[in-house]
Structure 1
Amino acid sequence: MSNKTSSKLVVFVLAALGLLVVPLIAQQFGNGPVRIIDLALLYVMLALGLNIVVGYAGLLDLGYVAFYAVGSYMFALLASPHLLENFENIAAMLPNGMHSPLWVIIPLGAGLAALAGVLLGSPTLKLRGDYLAIVTLGFGEIIRVFLNNMEYPLNITNGPRGIGQIDGIHFFGIDLGKSLQVFGYTLPSVTLYYYFFLALVVVTVLLCFRLENSRIGRAWMAIREDEIAAKAMGLNTRNLKLLAFGMGATFGGVAGSMFAAFQGFVSPESFSLQESVMIVAMVVLGGIGHIPGVILGALLLSALPEVLRYVAGPLQEMTGGRLDAAILRQLLVALAMISIMLLRPRGLWPSPEHGKAAPQAVK
């Protein structure tokens, strides 16, 4: 084994140990910090899924939060008493209630979101740049408005009141919604969810890495660089674009179903335009098309607003309460993003530029 390979192995082992220990250390400060990390892992999944569309295929999607919403409401309807309370026929068919198992939830969430991604991609195949962004933005808003108004005449989504009493995740007989005793040590629910979300993120990273280095991934990048040239070389750009929308949406659907299980409640407010813009910002801030950079951007932008809660409070007190803490926190996040993009225009951790590693001619 070469020194380079052994050093990489050591780094991976140390990183794995660090990820396993992180929630145990954060737990010493309460459930709040662990909960922030849990939500950050979900945003990592979302950012990696959007990176397929934006980073690999070069398609600007501002409606990605719609797939997040599809996965969330799918889980909420299949793992809560909402449908049983509003539809007598369903209640008669399921006298013991509707409690869908995990092995049904994840594939179904991924499949429904992928179908929504293909439906979004179909009418946008000939659009590029700003026009594509506007259409996808409209699609995201249509889904949110649809969820907000599907209360009459049939109460499917419960409108702006949202759906509650959602079951938690049951994994190999373990209820992640309850604490677990392991060798006399109590692991709270938020810590159990952390390890489950971490496993999903690892699977997502592996899939994205394989896609990036596959023939399909290279075809996406060819379309991103020059679609006309890619088409001239024989690539079926239509099917490849639809595949990019579908694959990217898949991760959004899975992350959405996990969000519903973790929160126990979903409402249309969680899937606003601001959420979609924030996910795009994570990809751009970290480094478009670069998996480590996207992960870094997602972790920073998902955790930064929560961390700044502790900064905004004292600043509000200094101004005598004249500044709203929520607005001040958004201002601090915006200033941080502007500063980073001015200093690192290609992102915090951009992909290596083509030709940088090419050998130089000896004069």
Structure 2
Amino acid sequence: MSKTKAKYRALKMPVRYLINTVLVALLFIGLQLLSANMLSTYQNKVLLLVGINVILAVSLNVATGYLGQLPLGHAGFMAVGAYTSALFTKYCTWPEPVAFAAGLALGAAMACLFGVLIGIPALRLSGDYLAILTLGFGEIIRITLNNIDNVLGFSLFYGAKGLKNIPKYSDLLSVFLCVVLTCFFIHTMLKSRHGRAVLAIRDNEIAAESCGIQTTYYKVMAFSFSAAFAGLAGGLYAGYLGVLDPASFDFMKSIEILVMVVLGGMGSMLGSILSATVLTILP
């Protein structure tokens, strides 16, 4: 395995990009063939959940494994993305692919914004204190969604009754395209100078700051980056179920995602992918 990896790394960059492009193309062709009529409805739904959970696990790994923090509010960011995307696609009159793509982007952007707003005060803390604060954020989001029925006289969230009649736009191709994009963007970020700064902060924050790294900026950046992809997963989840219930985004959902990251290995993208797949399929 190590020899194969060494040979792959020895290839020139254009050749490596070509190999990756061919592999991704083969993946999408395989997904199209599988989704044609070869999978049962149950198998199709399980694969959709696998893709969504992979995005959640890989994105949380940015904040836990690579940044070295312990946030417990990932389900809150997922809820923000899910409700934002669901409301947009439900009331948007654009063509289906455009509305779905725009809804996912809007959900990710809104979750990213919440990540910045929560990250600025939260990341001044660490360890148990950060975990408690982010846990509180996740519960505030859930309770707020559970109690808000209408906004300015317009029925939007429907409170505990849940948001219904959401267009079911999520399919295997769109979900796994988002999985590939998530892994690509996170891998690219980690290999950049921003990623090296994040890893330096994880290893020794004081030493990183003494070297001129703006620790607060990079911690908030990584935290909001993680939140954005949780929002993306939430948008896909809304398009998969067609119904949203605030109870789906409780504290145990955040713990479930954290277990996937820990089981796969903190700081291992491949481990997060494998553990999310196994823990989704086994139950």
The TM tier, using the shorter chain, reads 0.7 to 0.9
Aligned residue pairs total 268
Cα separation, partners in 2 of 1:11 and 1:118, compared to 1, 3 Å: closer
Counterpart mapping for 1:208-357 below 5 A: 208-305=186-283
Contact 2:31 2:173 (8 Å CA) reproduced = no
Secondary structure of the residue aligned to 2:172 is: helix
CA distance in 2, matches of 1:14, 1:110: 26
The structural deviation recorded for 1:133 is: 0.7
For the pair 1:167 / 2:167, whether they are aligned, the reply is yes
Name the structure 2 match of 1:21. Answer: 30
Letter in 2 for 1:228: I
Letter in 2 for 1:117: G
CA distance in 1, matches of 2:50, 2:257: 11
CA distance in 2, matches of 1:98, 1:148: 31
Contact 2:80 2:231 (8 Å CA) reproduced = yes
Range that drifts further, 219-228 or 99-108? 99-108
For the pair 1:31 / 2:41, whether they are aligned, the reply is yes
Range that drifts further, 135-144 or 159-168? 159-168
RMSD of equivalent CA atoms: 2.8
Secondary structure of the residue aligned to 2:282 is: helix
Q: Alignment partner for residue 183 of structure 2, among 195, 199, 205?
A: 205
Name the structure 1 match of 2:53. Answer: 43
The structural deviation recorded for 1:16 is: 6.4
Cα separation, partners in 2 of 1:79 and 1:102, compared to 1, 3 Å: closer
Higher relative contact order (CA 8 A, sep 6+): 2
Cα separation, partners in 2 of 1:285 and 1:12, compared to 1, 3 Å: farther
Cα separation, partners in 2 of 1:98 and 1:159, compared to 1, 3 Å: farther
| Greater helix content | 2
CA distance in 2, matches of 1:152, 1:15: 43
Secondary structure of the residue aligned to 2:212 is: coil
Contact 1:78 1:98 (8 Å CA) reproduced = no
Cα separation, partners in 2 of 1:28 and 1:291, compared to 1, 3 Å: same
CA distance in 2, matches of 1:297, 1:222: 26
CA distance in 2, matches of 1:152, 1:21: 44
CA distance in 2, matches of 1:29, 1:257: 23
Give unpaired runs (5+ residues) of structure 1: 82-93, 170-175, 177-192, 306-363
Counterpart mapping for 1:130-145 below 5 A: 130-145=128-143
The structural deviation recorded for 1:57 is: 0.7
Contact 1:80 1:164 (8 Å CA) reproduced = no
Contact 2:89 2:103 (8 Å CA) reproduced = no
Q: Render the CA deviation track for 1:199-221: whole Å, top value 9, x for unaligned.
A: 11111111111111111111111
Name the structure 1 match of 2:83. Answer: 73
CA distance in 2, matches of 1:106, 1:79: 9
Q: Render the CA deviation track for 1:140-179: whole Å, top value 9, x for unaligned.
A: 011000100012675431111111111233xxxxxx6xxx
- Structure-2-length-normalised TM-score: 0.85
For the pair 1:117 / 2:95, whether they are aligned, the reply is no
The structural deviation recorded for 1:79 is: 2.4
Range that drifts further, 27-36 or 233-242? 27-36
The structural deviation recorded for 1:106 is: 2.5
- Structure-1-length-normalised TM-score: 0.67
Give unpaired runs (5+ residues) of structure 2: none
Percent pairwise identity: 39
Q: Alignment partner for residue 128 of structure 1, among 116, 126, 129?
A: 126
